[in-house]
Amino acid sequence: MTIMRTSSTFSVLFWIDPKKASNDQAMIYARITVNQKRVLVSLKRKISIDLWDAERKKAKGSSAEAKQINHILDSSRSRFFQCYQELTSKGGKITAQLIKTLYLGEDETSKTLQNLLDYHSRKIESTLASGTIRNFGITERYIQKFLKKDRKTSDVYLKDLDYKFLCDFEYFLSTYYAKGHPRAMSHNTVMKHIQRLRKVIRLAYNMEWIDKDPFRRWKTTFEKKEREFLSANELSNLETYEFPIERLDRVRDLFIFSCYTGISYVDVMNLTLNNISMGIDGNNWIYSKRQKTKTPIKVPLLDPALELIRKYSNHPITLIPGTLLPVITNEKLNVYLKEVAILCGIKKNLTYHMARHTFATTVTLSNGVPIETVSKLLGHTKIATTQIYARVLEKKVSDDMNALRLVLDKNKEKEKMFKL
């Protein structure tokens, strides 16, 4: 049997470019040629033009400088040949660019964590929502703080990442007290930062920057937190309360709108009249997309939400910016909601996102709307996300079990009648 072998032509030539010389000093380059395709590699060393032998491609004479430069050229030639031999032994493709990459130490084994974070930042800047990008940025800053404090460095090679690195990073986050915060991060916040780091490391693994995922055995654990929401009584008090300040009245209206639509703050702020169309039932619906996940928003408008749209339809506060409802920053909205809660006698920590929780629980699930429908209305990509709300509805569980008891009792009565 004859084995066909392929061979590559390979050569190294040193030269200088007198046209780019400065003060009669020119940079020395190596020209790597493989199969008639060439690349240039700077040796990061300059030589006097008068000292360069253009014909022999080396330094002239036997001065100390000439001997040093010629030694550099010989060492570089040997290293280029070594790189060529290394690629040949692997039996893969050999190119001039690959030899240059290997020579400069720019192969995947020399990639660092900062290289990866920079690449990931560029990758997500036009594909993820601004809030998600901001969260990755926060995690990246904590990674840099950890490297500086724990590892006494600004960067590490990806090949040096291991399970202990993640354990140490978790401990650092758990004990880190951010400026202006009264306590350390919660367990779930720590897990979210580690979850983001793992996603970035997984990207490196998928791109073959590392041979294996160093965190493959890591198990992320989250503590279950009950989602706070307004009860039917609290929601009614909020709807009917007459605020003496117009600012608080608008804040209440925005909150109520989300209580009856389930739409998040950022998506409410982006709504215009163009987002309202007639649905398949002949009623008005809101059609949009979630900024966070890009999933469609398709919500039939209940009467309380419709009344609020009519209230602001010809109001200067919406006509000038062309929005459906008044625009207020999320920070101010949540600050003002604390005032709203005090005036309405609500003891809970009222935040705008609680309106979405209230829609999921008090307005829909507790009134018998199937969880599959609620999941669609909320724009969740997984029904498991919606089930978080279903778990907190003890009353709904109680009602369902009472309904089951009635069914079982009726079945028993039928059995007795049948025996008679």
Dist. CA 375–CA 381, nearest whole Å: 8
Residue environment code for 81-104, b if the CB has 16+ CB neighbours within 10 A, otherwise e = eebbeebeeeeeebbbebbbbbbe
Q: Which pair of tokens denotes residue 145?
A: 């703080």
Report if residue 414 sits inside a domain. no
Last residue of a domain, one of 106, 132, 161: 106
**The domain that contains 304 carries what CATH number?**
1.10.443.10
What tokens were used for 33?
């040629």
Answer yes or no: are the C-beta atoms of 394 and 368 closer than 8 Å.
no
Look at residue 34 and give its three-state secondary structure.
Answer: strand
Residue 128 belongs to domain spanning? 110-206
Q: For the packed helices 232-240 and 330-344, what is the interaxial angle rounded to 10 degrees?
A: 100
| Judgement on whether residues 117 and 75 belong to the same structural domain of the protein | no
CATH number of the CATH domain containing 160? 1.10.150
State pLDDT tens for residues 182-218. 667 888 889 999 999 999 999 988 887 887 888 888 8
Confidence (pLDDT) at 7: 59
Residue 410 is assigned to a structural domain of this protein:
no
Answer yes or no: are the C-beta atoms of 296 and 379 closer than 8 Å: yes
The neighbouring-strand residues paired with 276 are 286
> Is residue 197 within 8 Å of 139, Cβ to Cβ?
yes
In a domain, 411, yes or no: no
Question: d(Cα 12, Cα 34) in Å, to the nearest integer?
Answer: 9
The residue behind tokens 């046209």 is 19
- Range in 204-213, 281-290, 300-309, 410-419 with the lowest mean pLDDT: 410-419
Does the pTM surpass 0.75? The reply is no
Which run of H or of E encompasses 319? helix 316-319
CB distance 212 to 301 below 8 Å: no
Residue 227 lies in a domain: no
Q: What is the mean pLDDT of residues 271-288?
A: 92
Position 4 scores a pLDDT of: 34
Whether 379 is in a domain gets the answer yes
Claim to verify: residue 102 and residue 117 sit in the same structural domain: no
| Range in 63-77, 92-106, 383-397, 401-415 with the lowest mean pLDDT | 383-397
Mean pLDDT calculated for residue range 223-233:
81
Judgement on whether residues 194 and 336 belong to the same structural domain of the protein: no
Does the residue 277 lie in any domain? yes
Q: What is the pLDDT of residue 156?
A: 87
Q: Are residues 102 and 114 in the same domain?
A: no
Highest average pLDDT, of 50-54, 221-225, 409-413, comes from 50-54
- 192 with 271, same domain? no
Residues 243 and 371 grouped into a single domain: yes
In a domain, 188, yes or no: yes
CA distance 323 to 273: 7
Are 284 and 376 found together in one domain?
yes
In a domain, 3, yes or no: no
| Listed residue (155, 232, 199, 222) closest to 393, CA to CA | 232
Q: Mean pLDDT highest for which of 45-59, 84-98, 178-192? A: 45-59
Q: Say whether pLDDT at 388 is over 70.
A: yes
- Taking CA atoms, 62 is separated from 27, 58, 66, 84, 101, in Å, by 20, 11, 6, 30, 33
Same domain, 195 and 258: no
Residues 20 and 150 in one domain: no
Shared domain for 95 and 165, answered yes or no, is: no
**Statement to judge: residues 259 and 308 lie in one domain:** yes
Question: Are 183 and 312 in the same domain?
Answer: no
Domain total of the chain:
3
Question: What Å distances lie between residue 156 and 102, 143, 147, 288, 298, CA to CA?
Answer: 19, 11, 8, 43, 47
Task: Look at residue 400 and tell me whether its pLDDT is greater than 80.
Answer: no
Tens digits of residue pLDDT in 300-357:
999 999 999 999 999 999 999 999 999 999 899 999 999 999 999 999 989 998 999 9
